[in-house]
Amino acid sequence: MVPVTTQVPELSGDELRRLYRLLTAVRQLDLAAVAWQRQGIIPGYAPELGQEAAQVGSAFAMDTSRDFIFPTYREMGTALTLGVDMVQYMATHQASWHGGLYDPVTTRLAPIQAVVGGSVLHAVGWAHGQRLAAQADATQADATAETAPPDGAPATATPSDGEPDAAPAAGLPAALTYFGDGASSQGDVHEAMNFAAVLKAPVVFFVQNNGWAISLPTEAQVAGGRVAARAAGYGMKSLTVDGNDVTAVVRATREALAHARAGHGPVLIEAMTYRRGPHSTSDDPGRYRTLDEERRDAGADPVALLAEQLLASGHADSDFLDAAQADALAAADTVRDGVQALRPRPGSEMFEFVFAESTQQLTDQASAWRKESEHD
């Protein structure tokens, strides 16, 4: 499979080495998390074996000083690439707190959530907000240049005639939203694509087509065979990329981001990959596919593929690969220690975060809980 990237430069040796370290770290942590579930350290986990390159590559292309990423529940590789604290991320799988304990505002990673397609619309709203903010800034700058605005005048956006205004030189902040071939059959995903295309919102729709929606294969999930083909119906640019090849994913995402930042609207990337393991630690793939089918369909292993590329190009040697592996193992152990040290959140937090402005009813219920549960 050939990526549709032609204008984006090849990756440097330094970038390739960093990507390898990330891929290895994700692979090890993913394998470790499955083991932790078997050992009773965490109650459940959604493995991503085989999707490392799709997640690491796409997240690697983002500018987390201004972009925002909208994940599902299977984006550990994305989170790790963004620099999210992995203990705080794993806290959701450890059952400490829905959505994890990390701060989505500072990490630029929205909370993990399980309604597939639910967060795809949020990306469109967030991205549209960036366009509005940029236009308001531009309007304010113009007004300041021409005449000083009256004191306290609100920054209002200029009425739009429906055509995108010129984006600032640096381009717009962009949203990246993940979903799978299964979620592509959700109505929210179609509404999101239509809204984004109508509004020319700077959003990149990143489909990890891993071949399976739990037990249902893509051909039974996606009419027409490809999610990327749907982009044409929305007048949207699309790219299909080998999701096992991290360099192809980085370049495709960079190309898509450049398009979105320039104010040309959304882009759909379909990364063809394969969910090598089960859907979750409760799943039994043996009920719906054979080992022979897995071997036949899985394609190249993303980590092994980059190792071959590094060795062949001379950007790294086997010592580098060994060191990356050792570091990844050590990092996974550190995360395990952190996860094991997590204690249940104080019960009072149940009540604290329901509203930004709480209610008397919740205050009363918290008081009753404290009294009746002897938490005073």
Partner 1 sequence: MQAALIRALTEIMEQNPRALILGEDVGRLGGVFRITDGLQQRFGADRVLDTPLAESGILGMSVGLAMAGFHPIPEVQFDGFAYPAVNQIVTQLARMNYRSRGTLPMPVTLRVPSFGGIRAPEHHGESLEALFAHVPGLKVVSPSNPHEAYHLLKYAAARPDPVIFMEPKSRYWQKGEVLPADGGSPLGSKVVRSGKHVTLIAWGAMVARCLQVAELAAEDGIEVEVLDLRWLKPIDAAGLAASVARTRRAVVVHEAPLTSGLGAEVAALVTERCFGTLRAPVERVTGFDVPYPSGDLEDEYIPNIDRILFGIQRVLEYRRG
Residues near partner 1 (CB under 8 A) are 68, 97-99, 101, 103-105, 110-111, 113, 115, 118-130, 132-133, 135-136, 154-162, 175, 187-188, 191-192, 194-195, 198, 349, 352-357, 359-361
Q: Minimum distance between the CB of residue 142 and partner 1, rounded to whole angstroms?
A: 15
Residue closer to partner 1, measured from CB, 136 or 258: 136
Q: Minimum distance between the CB of residue 257 and partner 1, rounded to whole angstroms?
A: 17
What are 195's two structure tokens? 């809204």
Residue closer to partner 1, measured from CB, 99 or 217: 99
- Dist. CA 303–CA 244, nearest whole Å: 8
Residue closer to partner 1, measured from CB, 191 or 283: 191
Helix, strand and coil in the chain, % to nearest 5: 50, 10, 40
- Dist. CA 337–CA 240, nearest whole Å: 39
Residue closer to partner 1, measured from CB, 155 or 330: 155
**By C-alpha distance, which of 217, 197, 213, 214 is closest to 205?**
197
Element (H, E) at 68: strand 68-70
- Dist. CA 250–CA 261, nearest whole Å: 16
Cβ contact 248:5 at 8 Å: yes
Neighbours of 43 (CB within 10 A): 12
Residue closer to partner 1, measured from CB, 76 or 123: 123
Neighbours of 336 (CB within 10 A): 21
Q: Minimum distance between the CB of residue 100 and partner 1, rounded to whole angstroms?
A: 9
Residue closer to partner 1, measured from CB, 190 or 289: 190
Q: Minimum distance between the CB of residue 344 and partner 1, rounded to whole angstroms?
A: 15
Residue closer to partner 1, measured from CB, 231 or 332: 231
Residue closer to partner 1, measured from CB, 130 or 309: 130
Q: What is the 8-class DSSP label of residue 184?
A: G
Q: Minimum distance between the CB of residue 264 and partner 1, rounded to whole angstroms?
A: 18
Query: What residues does 205 pair with on adjacent strands?
Result: 177, 268
Q: Minimum distance between the CB of residue 153 and partner 1, rounded to whole angstroms?
A: 9
Q: Minimum distance between the CB of residue 99 and partner 1, rounded to whole angstroms?
A: 4
CA dihedral of 242, 244, 248, 253, whole degrees rounded to 10: 90
Residue closer to partner 1, measured from CB, 313 or 363: 363
Residue closer to partner 1, measured from CB, 29 or 112: 112
**By C-alpha distance, which of 81, 82, 80, 70 is closest to 33?**
80
Q: Minimum distance between the CB of residue 360 and partner 1, rounded to whole angstroms?
A: 6
Cβ contact 118:188 at 8 Å: yes
CA dihedral of 226, 228, 233, 235, whole degrees rounded to 10: -170
Cβ contact 52:30 at 8 Å: yes
Q: Minimum distance between the CB of residue 359 and partner 1, rounded to whole angstroms?
A: 4
Q: Minimum distance between the CB of residue 58 and partner 1, rounded to whole angstroms?
A: 19
Sheet containing 237-242: which strands, arranged edge to edge? 68-70, 175-180, 203-209, 267-272, 237-242
